[in-house]
Amino acid sequence: MTDLHPAPQDLLPRTVRRRVKIGLVAGGLGTYWPQFPGLLPRLQESARYVSERFRGMDAEVTDVGFVSDAQEGAAAAERLRQADCDVIVLFLATYLTSSMVLPIAQRSGAPVLVVDLQPTARMNHAETDTGDWLAYCGQCPVPELGNVFRRAGIPFRSVSGWLEQDAAWRRIERWVAGARVRGALRHARHGLMGHLYPGMLDVSTDLTLLPATFGSHVEVLELDDLRSRVEQVTDEEVRERTALAREIFHVDGSVAEDDFAWGARVSVGLDRLVDDFGLDTLAYYHRGLDGELHERLAAGMILGATLLTGRGVPTTGEYELRTTVAQLVTDVAGAGGSFCEIQALNFDDDVVEMGHDGPAHLGNSAGRPLLRGLGVYHGKRGWGVSVELDVRPGPVTLLGVGQDADGGLSFVVSEGAVVPGPLLEIGNTTSRVDFGRDPGEWVDAWSATGVGHHWSLALGHRAGDLRAAADLLGVPFRTV
């Protein structure tokens, strides 16, 4: 592979999603304003700074202003409820009573983050009077709110710091990243086409579970929905798609031209399917029989599914609905996310070799990916072209969406590092992941979480962002 070509994902138009929606309200106790005339303008200036910081996070911010009493808090709650936010931020500019903000947490329909940022790292005690001190008193009500939220059955989360403190804003940005995931899942449309891979009981997912847990929609599709669109693809569109593929991939000599053209034709049909149904993800599988059309459709999806995944629409085989959700989460978090399973263990190098045949995430590629011709897809019927790429070396995070005995979903995460070394050359996405422990022990611990057969392999160490997302979504979070 070589890096002389443009990055593969740069050749593809990214899908456009709604921006994360942040509700913002600042507040302080109105009793102070007539007592200390300069206090409110100072606090409002801090609130404007906070608002601008959030607007700089590629967010749609609904700023309902500054509240000074319980009545204004209730009015703010109604405005925030109508805004349909992914997260609501309460900026405590100074002390306020819990009665002023509890209605916001109760009525707004969104998780709440309490933020208290004093003006500077410390007070100048010799020059600080009572009015100046009150500007530093945003931390004062935090324990009060924690108690009231707990008694009201509302999850409590907070960030305390000072106004321009980088560490505090990094913690806040983690919650915004989590809210971005929550927003994507609340509005996601997941396509499910074909049928369950026979015998894979862990893959089976109750279709009501995603709407009930996240608010997502599951669109049940048939292979004929794809067939009808593939039949409408023109020869010119096939030529354009193969030309694009040649820019993105190195086409190995094992690729048969007829198989390449078929994969390109299916790819164009897949794009139309995704557009027509407004899909954010697609999971598929069809067993097929004796080369019939539906078998050929399923076998021809790898090229198109990889291109869609690279655009930000995870498209995954083996009917893995929960793993496409995991891939969507990591992609929205800016970390890519390839379909993944354990392939082998290397006890000499202490690495877990993992990857998968079929679609891959082009944003994960260490260089120019390869299209390889396969006469046999192991464990599946059909033949055609497959994608082979190396995940770039460096920190990575695994995210699996597990399912428990009570039916509930969970986020299961492990951080490691991709390290260089020999890889399979069989048309798979492969990587050697070092988790800093005996690979056999890691497999045992990972498998005990309820993660399932597959997961998303994403770039960077993202456990903090994913923990925040799980908290905002109300699902358990487990790490290995």
Return the pLDDT at 366: 82
CA–CA separation, 404 vs 210, rounded Å? 14
Q: Domains of the chain by range and CATH?
A: 8-12+187-479 (3.20.14), 20-185 (3.40.50.10940)
Return the pLDDT at 330: 96
Return the pLDDT at 362: 87
Are 450 and 403 in contact by the 8 Å Cβ rule? The answer is yes
Phi first, then psi: what are they for 386, rounded to 5°? -130, 160
CA–CA separation, 39 vs 58, rounded Å? 31
Return the pLDDT at 1: 41
Are 388 and 306 in contact by the 8 Å Cβ rule? The answer is no
Return the pLDDT at 377: 56
Return the pLDDT at 2: 42
Rounded to two decimals, what is the model's pTM? 0.91
Return the pLDDT at 324: 94
Return the pLDDT at 254: 87
pLDDT in tens, the chain (480 residues): 444 566 776 778 888 888 999 999 999 999 999 999 999 999 999 999 999 999 999 999 999 999 999 999 999 999 999 999 999 999 999 999 999 999 999 998 899 999 999 998 998 888 888 878 888 899 999 999 999 999 999 999 999 999 999 999 999 999 999 999 999 999 999 999 988 877 787 778 888 999 999 999 999 999 999 999 999 999 999 999 999 999 998 888 888 898 999 999 999 999 999 999 999 999 998 887 877 888 889 889 899 999 999 999 999 988 899 999 999 999 999 999 989 988 889 999 999 998 887 678 888 888 888 888 865 555 555 557 888 888 889 999 999 999 998 889 999 999 999 999 877 776 677 888 999 999 999 999 999 998 988 999 999 999 999 999 999 999 999 999
Residues 6+ apart with CB under 8 A from 67: 25, 26, 27, 73, 75, 76, 96, 100, 101
Q: Which of 237, 261, 245, 234 is nearest to 384 (CA)?
A: 261
Are 274 and 266 in contact by the 8 Å Cβ rule? The answer is no
